């Protein structure tokens, strides 16, 4: 006797074909609830059947930075703050995207910050310090990633680098179609796509436009061409910036945008039936509390306890084949081992 769960349109299978791993940078429970209130009953966070919490401390600090936080999520090991996929003893740590590439899956990431920022870097780079942008961008240009999108084109140009190399030339020589607008992105049918929407850091939402939603849609469409499946990382990067700036308006706009992208991803996964969706955070930023609010107006009043990160647990949400594994209180190092087991990558 066997059991299948009907959710939405599709029947969920035991093993996913695709994984979409979504990270709300700096997103704690209060940030999530800010979006739930703002969306006035239409928040996509409330659609997940499985939820939990993740402990975020790094190898050398109770309060992690995004380098160590992202590394833990994508490699399954805790490292020192500022490190990117390098252990304290100097070992290169294989990342989620690198594991997927070995299995023949297509890979990509979409962010609303620079593509060489700490969280996306933890999917492909190996450096001791997250600020080593010359090395990080060169490693991205030499990687086997199929699609990436964000800001930071200036970091790839020879004139702006200390090493006098052109990571942008390397991208093109390795077959990437480098695009700079949403129209160019939508028109591209290249096998590898690199989308840059700002020389450096993109503007805040909504000023920057749909530079998280539309590239995420394109990434799913592009990576779905691989019959073996894909792994995609999507980051709501600037939720973190609202926390650092103790600016509830910025934070609210950014987390609501992320919420809407989650909705698009869930709609795809429910129709597809073969996609595991995981949503979590690398850490919380700002020590946000919500002493007052108005559900009818979709507004909250906020208090911040710090302009930096905090060490509190962050929420976890999961949907799709294998989602039941992401419940309860977890370590941030548990995600990759769980994914590897679900995907039968443990050999």
Per-residue pLDDT of the chain (347 residues; tens, 9 = 90+): 333 444 444 445 579 999 999 999 999 999 999 999 999 999 999 999 999 999 999 999 999 999 999 999 999 999 999 999 999 999 999 999 999 999 999 999 999 999 999 999 999 999 999 999 999 999 999 999 999 999 999 999 999 999 989 999 999 999 999 999 999 999 999 999 999 999 999 999 999 999 999 999 999 999 999 999 999 999 999 999 999 999 999 999 999 999 999 999 999 999 999 999 999 999 999 999 999 999 999 999 999 999 999 999 999 999 999 999 999 999 999 999 999 999 999 75
Of 307, 288, 308, 276, whose CA–CA distance to 66 is shortest? Answer: 308
The Cα-based distances of 288 to 30, 212, 238, 242 in angstroms read: 6, 24, 15, 10
What are the C-alpha distances in Å from 287 to residues 28, 144, 180, 247, 304?
Answer: 9, 37, 36, 12, 5
- From the list 108, 115, 58, the residue with the least C-alpha distance to 88 is 58
Q: Domain 15-114+211-342 is in which class?
A: alpha beta
Per-residue pLDDT of 250-300, as tens digits, reads 999 999 999 999 999 999 999 999 999 999 999 999 999 999 999 999 999
Element (H, E) at 74: helix 66-75
Residue boundaries of the structural domains of the chain: 15-114+211-342
Q: How far is CA 106 from CA 81, 112, 134, in A?
A: 29, 21, 25
Q: How far, in Å, CA of 233 to CA of 20, rounded?
A: 6
Instruction: List Cα–Cα distances, 275 to 13, 76, 233, 235, 282, in angstroms.
Output: 9, 21, 13, 17, 22
pTM summary value: 0.95
| Coil, strand or helix at 161 | coil
């Amino acid at each position: 006797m066997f059991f299948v769960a009907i959710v939405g349109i599709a029947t969920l299978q035991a093993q996913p074909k695709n994984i979409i791993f979504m990270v709300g940078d700096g997103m704690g429970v209060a940030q999530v609830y800010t979006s739930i209130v703002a969306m006035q009953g239409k928040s996509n966070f409330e659609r997940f059947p499985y939820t939990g919490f993740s402990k975020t401390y790094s190898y050398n600090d109770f309060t992690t930075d995004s380098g160590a936080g992202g590394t833990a999520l994508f490699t399954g090991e805790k490292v020192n703050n500022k490190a990117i996929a390098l252990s304290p003893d100097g070992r290169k740590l294989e990342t989620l995207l690198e594991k997927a590439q070995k299995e023949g899956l297509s890979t990509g990431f979409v962010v609303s910050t620079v593509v060489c920022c700490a969280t996306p870097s933890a999917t492909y780079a190996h450096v001791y310090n997250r600020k080593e942008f010359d090395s990080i961008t060169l490693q991205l240009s030499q990687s086997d990633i199929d699609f990436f999108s964000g800001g930071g084109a200036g970091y790839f140009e020879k004139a702006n680098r200390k090493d006098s190399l052109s990571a942008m030339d390397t991208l093109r020589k390795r077959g990437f179609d480098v695009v700079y607008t949403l129209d160019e992105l939508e028109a591209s049918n290249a096998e590898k796509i690199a989308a840059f929407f700002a020389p450096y850091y993109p503007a805040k939402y909504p000023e920057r436009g749909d530079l998280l939603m539309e590239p995420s849609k394109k990434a799913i469409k592009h990576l779905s061409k691989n019959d073996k499946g894909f792994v995609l990382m999507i980051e709501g990067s600037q939720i973190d910036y609202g926390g650092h700036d103790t600016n509830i308006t910025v934070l609210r706009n950014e987390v609501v945008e992320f919420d809407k992208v989650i909705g698009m991803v869930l709609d795809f996964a429910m129709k597809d039936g073969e996609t595991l969706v995981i949503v979590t955070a690398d850490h919380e930023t700002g020590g946000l509390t919500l002493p007052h609010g108005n559900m009818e107006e979709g507004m909250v009043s906020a208090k911040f306890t710090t302009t930096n990160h905090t060490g509190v647990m962050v929420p976890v949400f999961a949907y799709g084949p294998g989602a039941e594994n992401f419940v309860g209180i977890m370590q941030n190092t548990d995600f990759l081992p769980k994914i590897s087991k679900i995907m039968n990558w443990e050999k």
